[in-house]
Chain A
């Protein structure tokens, strides 16, 4: 345990006998160390003491304590002692190493001491660093030398010794020397260009003056001539004085440079500061540095003055609230935000920076529309002004300075007179005062003008694109004011306020006021976007202006239309598809946009409700477009059913062969030949919007409507037609003479009037006659309908004239009767015409009430004309038929034809229909004195009914050919039915004759005869047989025997002829068995008749029918075919046969006993 390195310590290892002197012993430690013997002694003596005590106690406590207690105490002591000695034993044993441990203790103690020494050493070494002050000063060699030479040192006198005054001669001499030296020095060094030629040497210093900036004077301190830059430090320049060559003009409180009269000197503290700085600069950088520093200094000061001016401007000038200025002292930048309340510029979006550029010249930058803006023109104008001011002071001395870096800045500074914002040099040396107000004005005006220019360009671009003839829609009044045409007659002045950047109208209408608000608020599209560019704003303005134009124009037209009795209809709203239909009419197509175009709907009070005038106007062009259309609302959507564009011939193109009226407006119907369209304007030029245009508009539109209505009516009538403009040409082809001649004749007296009246409209329609209107035989395939509108006494009249060829007429009539039909026939010229005059005003008024789409069927315009034509047609045809049928025509007139069929019959009148869709009627002659046979009347009714039904059924199919045939058939029918009727009257007579002989007891006739005609084909002979029985004499019974007559044909007959079937079948019932005798009589009678007829002649027979038949036709030979209970007889037989049957009844009743 004692391997302490002996060599390091060298202490107690005495083993090295070589060493002469051994190191000192390690100090022995005895503190807190006790020898073992001491311990043993202490413990044994203690033990003995305790034992003694215990034992003594034992004897003394013999009485007081019992044995066990005493024993215990004794034992405790013994045990405690024993334990102590056990420890002692341990200690004794340990003591074997006690010596070594003791050595270790010494050793450790020594080590600690050594460590302490090392620590001390470290501390002392550290202490060495604190000896820096222990330096010796260098020897004062200079003083030593002084002493060496002068034998005494030179000590300060502290002004105790008075200094001799320098004489003025001496001063002058020094100054002159200095002047010379300075001149030489300047000649030998480079001078900054702005300083060069701008200095004066006098009074021993150099005065450098930079015009509009500063004047500084410097000098040197000795007479050294320095000819190289390296040696400059030997004699640098020193600063003497400084002042600014500008300042606040006390009269105008503007920054002025005028003639350098107003200067600003520095306060003392600043001057001292500057002196220090400048001397330092002069030493290190020379004249160049001097110029740079002072130049910056001047510019900064100028900026400060500008900023000060601006701050004043912000208060109580017109710029208030429109300007924001950002200037921080010490920073060479003034930022001016103009139009501070305008959205375009607010929050520093448009501003001017006045500051120092890279060359340390005062300069400006113009920031607008999101970027820095260099406006050549602006800078030029501004620079011109600034230069003027600069050059006036600078011209003599400063020409070189312009070529310097400052040249650009100079020019810009020059600008800055106007554009203060431009970063000009500090060199603003204008004779005029530097007026921030003025500069701001220039910038702001320029900006306004630029914006206005954009607006103007955009507007002209938009307008020119749309129309080529709208010139001068916009023009400049001034750079900030635009004269804008709102409508052909109205215009407004649109301005920008350069102060605020807001737009306004001069003398605004309320509408313009609202638009102004819109224009002056950020455009909707970019509202979310934080940045609004100028073009966004301009677009917004353009849109709004166009909107304004649209609305004003719209209002104007609306007003004019309303004053000319048009009614606006706001309800109509056309869908996109429908609107695109309108576009089809425009040459260049219509790019319809809601906010650029406006479609309005108008109608006249007297128009049918579905007829609408459509006007389309645009905000871009003043040309407008007009249509006449029929609109219908189908399930909520408006549909164009028919549309026609109004075309207006431009005034210069009068040459077209279309109808012109005396007004300035020329109306051209849309025609098939489109040659004209190219010279026609699509729309209406604004120059047209005079009163005539609007007043004639209704006429034009009405005409178009009527035209359309007539055409539609023609279509409804299934009349083929052709509308053409070259009607005269065609008329010549048809050898029809000029109609107006005729017209003139007719309206001879009114002709003058007509001429005086505005002939509003005239057109001719070629109508194709397909043998349906008139027989081609009598006419030609072409008829003409001429429509003429005449305005008289505020009433529009429509003259309709239908005319054409007419020939081969068999009618012989007095023209007077034709006049009833408004018909005129010129047989020489083979010409006819039907005319009609309709009062359109009342006509349209009466019709506009309810669903007018169906006018023509209710009450067509052409009804009368075509009715009359139809009458003529019918007349011609029926006459033709009658002539062919060889029917005797007693008389004819326009409306009826009187014919004689039979002597026994009255004259019949064939009444021609009033209207084209009605049929003819057959009437008895009302003049006849004979009583009208009721049955005949009934038959006629049936026939007329039939005729009417014929017409109706034929309506759809070919209406033509049947008409004539039917009248013949009807007449035939009347002929056939006549003998039957005759027989009826004869039976009646017979019954009446024997009335007395066949009476019942009560006087009632046993036989009543009656006829029923349920329809034209059935005639019932009804015989009522009255009788009474014996049982009840008073009660009268009635039996009925019916004989039916019907027209029949025998299919097996060789000759096709009408036969009459006499049928007794209905009487075949058990009830009639009692009349067996009667039937036997009837059959017998018929048989007899048959037999009689087979014999050549029967003198007893009256042969009336036979005579007719034989006279008429061989086919009508008497014929009697007996069937079971029916008889098929020819019409010639039927009368006699029926009379016989009638007689049989009489006969039977006479034979019959009075009572049964």
Chain B
């Protein structure tokens, strides 16, 4: 999954709309630029320019209140990536990897500690038999398996 294409699913509709608007705006900027560049100072060109400027402004205006876009949280890191001209997908991928690793490590620790818990519990039960019940309770509660 990349940013190349937006999947035309419902969830993405606001995005697709927004993307179109942005795309149109960019197009308008180009045309505005051409107009400015080619402006001969004639009235015709002035009016064209003015019209175009107004169109841009109206597009901006439309974009500002782009609906339903507040639901997309953008991490500042991604924003920085794009500002620096880097591919935000790289950020995505790296983040996934870090998370996966962290997850695996965490799982290992959980398993190790659950073993420690069992052994320690057994020893404690041996030494302090009267704690057996509580220890068993702790084991039970922390095993993640609800009986």
Q: Give residues in A with beta carbon < 8 Å to B.
A: 1, 4-5, 7-8, 10, 19, 30, 32-41, 44-45, 47-48, 51, 55, 67, 71, 74-75, 78-79, 81-82, 85-99, 101-102, 104-105, 107-108, 111-112, 114-115, 118, 121, 125
Partner of B26, one of A45, A89, A121: A89
Partner of A78, one of B23, B36, B39, B82: B36
- In the bound complex, what is the Cα–Cα distance between A35 and B75 (angstroms)? 9
Smallest Cβ-Cβ distance to A28: which chain B residue = B73
Please name all residues of chain B whose beta carbon is closer than 8 Å to the beta carbon of A98 when the two chains form the complex: 72-74, 78
- In the bound complex, what is the Cα–Cα distance between A1 and B78 (angstroms)? 18
Task: For residue B64, give the distance in angstroms from its CB to the closest CB of chain A.
Answer: 4
29 A-B pairs with C-beta separation under 8 A: A7-B144, A8-B107, A8-B110, A8-B144, A19-B146, A33-B73, A36-B18, A36-B71, A37-B72, A48-B61, A51-B53, A51-B57, A78-B29, A78-B33, A82-B30, A85-B22, A88-B22, A90-B3, A90-B88, A91-B82, A92-B22, A93-B3, A95-B15, A97-B1, A99-B73, A102-B75, A108-B95, A111-B99, A115-B109
Please determine whether B70 and A38 come into contact, CB atoms closer than 8 angstroms.
yes
Partner of A34, one of B12, B73, B83: B73
Please name all residues of chain B whose beta carbon is closer than 8 Å to the beta carbon of A102 when the two chains form the complex: 73, 75
Please name all residues of chain A whose beta carbon is closer than 8 Å to the beta carbon of B74 when the two chains form the complex: 33-36, 39, 91, 95, 98
- In the bound complex, what is the Cα–Cα distance between A38 and B79 (angstroms)? 12
Please name all residues of chain A whose beta carbon is closer than 8 Å to the beta carbon of B73 when the two chains form the complex: 30, 33-36, 98-99, 101-102
Q: Is B37 an interface residue (CB 8 A)?
A: yes
Partner of A40, one of B7, B63, B79, B110: B63
Smallest Cβ-Cβ distance to A7: which chain B residue = B144
Please determine whether A85 and B107 come into contact, CB atoms closer than 8 angstroms.
no
Contact A78 B32, CB 8 Å, known A94-B89, A104-B96, A108-B98: yes
- In the bound complex, what is the Cα–Cα distance between A95 and B17 (angstroms)? 12
Q: Is B60 an interface residue (CB 8 A)?
A: yes
Contact A101 B106, CB 8 Å, known A35-B69, A78-B29, A87-B83: no
New A-B contacts (19) at CB < 8 Å, excluding given A94-B78, A108-B98: A33-B73, A34-B79, A35-B73, A37-B72, A44-B64, A45-B64, A48-B60, A82-B26, A85-B22, A90-B3, A90-B82, A91-B78, A93-B6, A94-B89, A96-B7, A98-B73, A102-B73, A111-B106, A121-B113
- In the complex, per-residue mask of B13-33: 1 if CB is within 8 Å of any chain A CB, else 0: 001001100110110011011
Please determine whether A111 and B102 come into contact, CB atoms closer than 8 angstroms.
yes
Please determine whether A101 and B92 come into contact, CB atoms closer than 8 angstroms.
yes
Task: For residue A93, give the distance in angstroms from its CB to the closest CB of chain B.
Answer: 4
Contact A94 B3, CB 8 Å, known A34-B79, A39-B79: yes
Most chain B CB neighbours (cut-off 10 Å) among A41, A51, A82, A91: A91
Partner of B106, one of A47, A51, A71, A115: A115
Please determine whether A71 and B39 come into contact, CB atoms closer than 8 angstroms.
yes
- In the bound complex, what is the Cα–Cα distance between A1135 and B22 (angstroms)? 197
Please name all residues of chain B whose beta carbon is closer than 8 Å to the beta carbon of A8 when the two chains form the complex: 106-107, 110, 144
Contact A105 B95, CB 8 Å, known A111-B103, A111-B106: yes
- In the bound complex, what is the Cα–Cα distance between A92 and B72 (angstroms)? 9
- In the bound complex, what is the Cα–Cα distance between A4 and B61 (angstroms)? 42
Q: How large is the interface on B (under 10, 10 to 19, 20 to 34, 35 or more residues)?
A: 35 or more
Please determine whether B18 and A92 come into contact, CB atoms closer than 8 angstroms.
yes
Please name all residues of chain B whose beta carbon is closer than 8 Å to the beta carbon of A90 when the two chains form the complex: 3, 82, 88
- In the complex, per-residue mask of B33-73: 1 if CB is within 8 Å of any chain A CB, else 0: 10011010100000000000100110011011110011111
Please name all residues of chain B whose beta carbon is closer than 8 Å to the beta carbon of A89 when the two chains form the complex: 19, 22-23, 26
- In the bound complex, what is the Cα–Cα distance between A114 and B108 (angstroms)? 12
Q: Is B4 an interface residue (CB 8 A)?
A: yes
Partner of A118, one of B12, B26, B64, B109: B109
Interface positions, chain B 78-135, Cβ under 8 Å from A, are 78-79, 82-83, 88-89, 92, 95-96, 98-99, 102-103, 105-107, 109-110, 113, 116
Contact A91 B88, CB 8 Å, known A36-B74, A75-B36, A75-B37: yes
Please determine whether A92 and B82 come into contact, CB atoms closer than 8 angstroms.
no
- In the bound complex, what is the Cα–Cα distance between A1 and B19 (angstroms)? 24
Please determine whether B76 and A34 come into contact, CB atoms closer than 8 angstroms.
yes
Please name all residues of chain A whose beta carbon is closer than 8 Å to the beta carbon of B69 when the two chains form the complex: 35-37, 40, 95
Please determine whether B19 and A92 come into contact, CB atoms closer than 8 angstroms.
yes
- In the bound complex, what is the Cα–Cα distance between A93 and B18 (angstroms)? 9
Please name all residues of chain A whose beta carbon is closer than 8 Å to the beta carbon of B65 when the two chains form the complex: 41
Please name all residues of chain A whose beta carbon is closer than 8 Å to the beta carbon of B32 when the two chains form the complex: 78
Please name all residues of chain A whose beta carbon is closer than 8 Å to the beta carbon of B78 when the two chains form the complex: 91, 94, 98, 101
4 nearest A-B pairs in the assembled complex, by CB-CB distance: A82-B29, A37-B70, A36-B72, A37-B69
- In the bound complex, what is the Cα–Cα distance between A111 and B104 (angstroms)? 10
Task: For residue A718, give the distance in angstroms from its CB to the closest CB of chain B.
Answer: 137
Please name all residues of chain B whose beta carbon is closer than 8 Å to the beta carbon of A74 when the two chains form the complex: 36
Please determine whether B18 and A48 come into contact, CB atoms closer than 8 angstroms.
no
Task: For residue A959, give the distance in angstroms from its CB to the closest CB of chain B.
Answer: 145
Partner of B144, one of A10, A45, A85: A10
Please name all residues of chain A whose beta carbon is closer than 8 Å to the beta carbon of B57 when the two chains form the complex: 48, 51
Please determine whether B22 and A1 come into contact, CB atoms closer than 8 angstroms.
no
- In the bound complex, what is the Cα–Cα distance between A726 and B5 (angstroms)? 161
Smallest Cβ-Cβ distance to B93: which chain A residue = A1
- In the bound complex, what is the Cα–Cα distance between A108 and B144 (angstroms)? 20
Please determine whether A104 and B60 come into contact, CB atoms closer than 8 angstroms.
no
- In the bound complex, what is the Cα–Cα distance between A97 and B2 (angstroms)? 8
- In the bound complex, what is the Cα–Cα distance between A44 and B56 (angstroms)? 10
- In the bound complex, what is the Cα–Cα distance between A36 and B22 (angstroms)? 13
Partner of B75, one of A4, A51, A71, A105: A105
- In the bound complex, what is the Cα–Cα distance between A96 and B92 (angstroms)? 12
Most chain A CB neighbours (cut-off 10 Å) among B7, B74, B92, B146: B74
Please determine whether A99 and B72 come into contact, CB atoms closer than 8 angstroms.
yes
- In the bound complex, what is the Cα–Cα distance between A32 and B76 (angstroms)? 6
- In the bound complex, what is the Cα–Cα distance between A10 and B146 (angstroms)? 11
- In the bound complex, what is the Cα–Cα distance between A260 and B69 (angstroms)? 119
- In the bound complex, what is the Cα–Cα distance between A107 and B96 (angstroms)? 10
Please determine whether A35 and B72 come into contact, CB atoms closer than 8 angstroms.
yes
Please name all residues of chain B whose beta carbon is closer than 8 Å to the beta carbon of A55 when the two chains form the complex: 53
Most chain B CB neighbours (cut-off 10 Å) among A36, A48, A71, A125: A36
Task: For residue A1072, give the distance in angstroms from its CB to the closest CB of chain B.
Answer: 170
Task: For residue B93, give the distance in angstroms from its CB to the closest CB of chain A.
Answer: 9
Smallest Cβ-Cβ distance to B67: which chain A residue = A37
- In the bound complex, what is the Cα–Cα distance between A108 and B92 (angstroms)? 13
Most chain B CB neighbours (cut-off 10 Å) among A1, A45, A85: A85
- In the bound complex, what is the Cα–Cα distance between A86 and B19 (angstroms)? 10
Task: For residue B94, give the distance in angstroms from its CB to the closest CB of chain A.
Answer: 11
- In the bound complex, what is the Cα–Cα distance between A104 and B97 (angstroms)? 10
- In the bound complex, what is the Cα–Cα distance between A442 and B88 (angstroms)? 108
Please name all residues of chain A whose beta carbon is closer than 8 Å to the beta carbon of B30 when the two chains form the complex: 82
Please determine whether B12 and A33 come into contact, CB atoms closer than 8 angstroms.
no
- In the bound complex, what is the Cα–Cα distance between A1 and B99 (angstroms)? 10
- In the bound complex, what is the Cα–Cα distance between A87 and B66 (angstroms)? 17
Please name all residues of chain A whose beta carbon is closer than 8 Å to the beta carbon of B15 when the two chains form the complex: 92-93, 95-96
Task: For residue B134, give the distance in angstroms from its CB to the closest CB of chain A.
Answer: 17
- In the bound complex, what is the Cα–Cα distance between A105 and B65 (angstroms)? 27
Please name all residues of chain A whose beta carbon is closer than 8 Å to the beta carbon of B37 when the two chains form the complex: 71, 75
Please determine whether A35 and B95 come into contact, CB atoms closer than 8 angstroms.
no
Partner of A32, one of B75, B92, B95: B75
- In the bound complex, what is the Cα–Cα distance between A85 and B30 (angstroms)? 11
Task: For residue A447, give the distance in angstroms from its CB to the closest CB of chain B.
Answer: 79
- In the bound complex, what is the Cα–Cα distance between A39 and B66 (angstroms)? 11
- In the bound complex, what is the Cα–Cα distance between A111 and B98 (angstroms)? 11
Please determine whether A47 and B60 come into contact, CB atoms closer than 8 angstroms.
yes
Most chain A CB neighbours (cut-off 10 Å) among B60, B82, B116: B60
Task: For residue A519, give the distance in angstroms from its CB to the closest CB of chain B.
Answer: 90
Most chain A CB neighbours (cut-off 10 Å) among B30, B69, B146: B69
Please name all residues of chain B whose beta carbon is closer than 8 Å to the beta carbon of A35 when the two chains form the complex: 69-74
Task: For residue A716, give the distance in angstroms from its CB to the closest CB of chain B.
Answer: 134
Please name all residues of chain A whose beta carbon is closer than 8 Å to the beta carbon of B61 when the two chains form the complex: 44, 48
Smallest Cβ-Cβ distance to A89: which chain B residue = B22
Task: For residue B71, give the distance in angstroms from its CB to the closest CB of chain A.
Answer: 7
